[in-house]
Structure 1
């Protein structure tokens, strides 16, 4: 042999297949061929080896001696399973993949079918490469996170991902089926995929993640709050966590920055606390005992998140504390957080909060000047299909949260307290009280004046004598009167 032939592969598996069929037809054995990518050719190859591109040069220009093996006259036929194995292994990102694929194909063509077996040396490498490619495709489908494009336009959603192997085209087909006609773009360091809603456009050029800026995702804060709430330090298995969600994927996940802190908290003692709570809930033999001895008075938990005075914490995402300036003249007390408040951890941000915001504007009160809170700090709900429907808290739950409400009133020292609804009124006055008797009759509670009006959610469901407009108007009038009283000097 007078030289070594270089076969350059362009276009992945289809390009390799065309070159491999030409090499088989010419009878070139694997040790007479050097395989390379079309964009990674050696600079000095021209003076030492013959470079072979498609279309093939005439046979007389090849600087390779006549092969010892005869040129196969019959077409190359391989089994369907072996073809699938070669296609998957071709996506494995390695400089040796094309040489290995050609050696396996050469052995098959010469009657050695053991090359397709995982027990064979070459077959074992092919199966290992195919397995790694399938795992990389699964990881890409699992860990790609789309964000809406800033400023609108096409594509609507953007994502950046760094796959370990060339699985972009395969994974893009999955997202095209799942996302329907919504347009999206996935960029990687080795290419990009664009789906315009009807057709797929693949590019082999490296993508720039800064070329298409994404806007802030409004759902992301809710997802982060939910992710933190379902984390159980008592059941943390770091080895399993890293195995199923390797660390290299964390940087592309919204919840990725939260994971190290939660692991550190579990190591610092949260795991032991969680395990102790689980052991305390285990059933045991009942022992007759007086109620006073069985349930002695306990000190109030130091933080609201640790409160276990009632059972509402078990099914709520998180406790929702009050918010507003310390020393606010007006405090608004509602019944309990709703579905959206439970997920976000802030009071009055759902539909009822929109009604309240409108009433505050009509009363010429800025939301940031009043203190907003609820009589009950956890969301009480019942399941209706896939929705969580509000359920009125009982007297036991109101009394369990009374200490937190009293602490807020003592800390803020408002001049006027507006009770929104009957539950809030009873919680503020600490006694039975009818809402209708206090709608237009303010009462003193220590140094504060207590006023009552309807809860904003009542305006969303009212039927019968009153209309939603009348309910909203009464709320606005009560807030306006509260503002006047707060600005004035209360009598002794």
Structure 2
């Protein structure tokens, strides 16, 4: 007996079953509609009906599941209707009239998984027949629930269209070429199947869910019971290509996890191929990839270089109040964060380096990498306590260029030194150091505000600059780069003697500036 015949048989015996106190077990909207029509014609109120058995759903009529969902009761109702003699002469009430819009909404809401959905839908249609037409309005409690159920079903259909991922299978006789696994929250598989029939043409495919499956062989759509237990049963050799593409288009600089979670609910991620990549990509973005995501391949196009004076290259803009807000040059675009100075508020000695390195850029503190460890040795040999010295850099953002997976230091340009002098000047004005130790040529140019000075001319010779003495030494990274041990030892000695000289200048502030030449 086909579905229409089953629905007709149940409808014919529905009133008698209700009067006998038997539950009405339906296997879908078509059956429910036929049964509800007969109950309405007989004037049976909602409170007199028991619909179905606990756990029944739209797929309760699937092969192999009839016994579990009360199939024996369904068969007995069909057989009773078939054996009951019909009284053709008895007058029948007219069929109830229901508007198309309400019937379409009832059919959509019937896919909503709820233990009392059939009883609720019958209550809605009963109230309509009693003249309570506001039951279709969202302002009515039942109408609001009906609209909510229909909206949830439509959303689930949309989500299945968007988040189903077909895996390609080897070509085998009788087997679908593409297979997908999905875990829908509502019974929307039949509607979704029709969508993919129209979209995928004659290519064979299958969509499996925990409750049912649909199989398209290129000409006919087959509905069956569950055929798979999880997405782990699927394997696709071409999926690696998709994951490679997904990694390449993931832009950490534009990551917004809140928007990502709102657009794709978490229950879908576990069955998406790219779901396994997202946690690591988000973690990398938080560790610095967010700021360095715009590399040369996707960054700003190179243009024609126009010679211009450094001070004229700075745009007129409002002065930033916080270092993290600084946009006075372009270095912030590729740095993880700005690195400010560190030390006592009124330190008498200020050490000025060139710029943060790779480790300083990630940690947000000056001189914590290899150069910082060498600087600790210099402090120890010079007999100066690091905790009593204020340490900073002339440039506050890390300037670098990619070399494979590494970020290599790149010397700041003069316009970048000029742009960042705004912050160094504020540090000097706030701390008022009596001695400034400039480590390297970049620091010396920034402190003295001149581009013509050379490092060798000032090594070991303190000069007066404003209210402070300026002592020049090598930068720790220079000592690390020197190839031979003799030159390395000499450069290290220059740094040690420079710090000792800075300490002596504190003890003898009246030392006159040595003459030039």
- TM-score by structure 2 length? 0.48
Closer, same or farther: CA 37–172 of 1 in aligned 2, 3 Å? farther
- The change in CA–CA distance for 1:97 and 1:307 in structure 2 (over 3 A counts) is farther
CA contact (8 A) 1:157 1:183 kept: yes
Report the equivalent of 1:247: 266
Structure 1 regions of 5+ residues with no counterpart?
A: 62-70, 310-492
Structure 2 CA distance for aligned equivalents of residues 116 and 182 of structure 1: 41
Q: 1:53 to 1:295 in 2, by over 3 A?
A: closer
Counting only pairs closer than 5 Å after superposition, residues 277-316 of structure 1 correspond to structure 2 as 288-289=308-309, 300-304=401-405
Instruction: List aligned pairs for 1:377-388, cutoff 5 A.
Output: none
Cα displacement (A) at 1:190? 1.1
Larger Rg: 2
Please give the alpha-carbon distance, in whole angstroms, between the structure 1 residues aligned to 2:74 and 2:181.
40
Given the alignment of the two structures, is residue 15 of structure 1 paired with residue 31 of structure 2, yes or no? yes
Secondary structure of the corresponding residue to residue 7 of structure 1: coil
Q: From 96, 99, 107, give the equivalent of 2:119.
A: 99
1:60-118 deviation line (CA, Å, top 9, x unaligned): 99xxxxxxxxx982211111110110010000011111111000010111111111111
Structure 1 residue 271 corresponds to structure 2 residue 290: yes
**For residue 134 of structure 1, what is the aligned residue in structure 2?**
154
* CA 1:228–1:272: 2 relative to 1, 3 Å: same
Give yes or no for contact 1:27–1:72 (8 Å, CA) kept in 2: no
Q: In 2, are the aligned partners of 1:16 and 1:98 still within 8 Å (CA)?
A: yes
Deviation at 1:125, TM superposition (A): 0.4
Q: Given that residues 24 and 72 in structure 1 are in contact (C-alpha distance below 8 angstroms), is that contact kept between their aligned partners in structure 2? A: no
Distance 1:308 1:5, change over 3 A: farther
Secondary structure of 2:180's match? strand
Residue 54 to residue 282, structure 1, CA distance change in 2 (3 Å):
farther
Distance in 2 (CA, whole Å) between partners of 1:217 and 1:181 is 22
> Which of 125, 128, 132 lines up with 1:108 in the alignment?
128
Deviation at 1:193, TM superposition (A): 0.4
- 2:431 aligned residue: none
| 1:332-411 equivalent positions in 2, closer than 5 A | none
Aligned to 1:90: 110
Aligned equivalents of 1:118 and 1:72: distance in 2?
A: 34
- For structure 2, the 5+ residue unaligned runs are 1-17, 61-66, 86-90, 314-328, 332-398, 411-517
User: Aligned with 1:206: secondary structure?
Assistant: coil
Distance 1:242 1:213, change over 3 A: closer
**Equivalent residue, structure 2, for 1:180:** 201
Match of 1:53 in 2: 77
Q: How many residues align?
A: 289
**Are 2:256 and 1:237 equivalent residues in the alignment?**
yes
- 8 Å CA contact 1:137–1:171 kept in 2: the answer is yes
Is the partner of 1:8 in helix, strand or coil?
coil
Which residue does the alignment assign to 1:34? 50
| 2-structure distance, mates of 1:211, 1:299 | 44
SS of 1:252's partner is coil
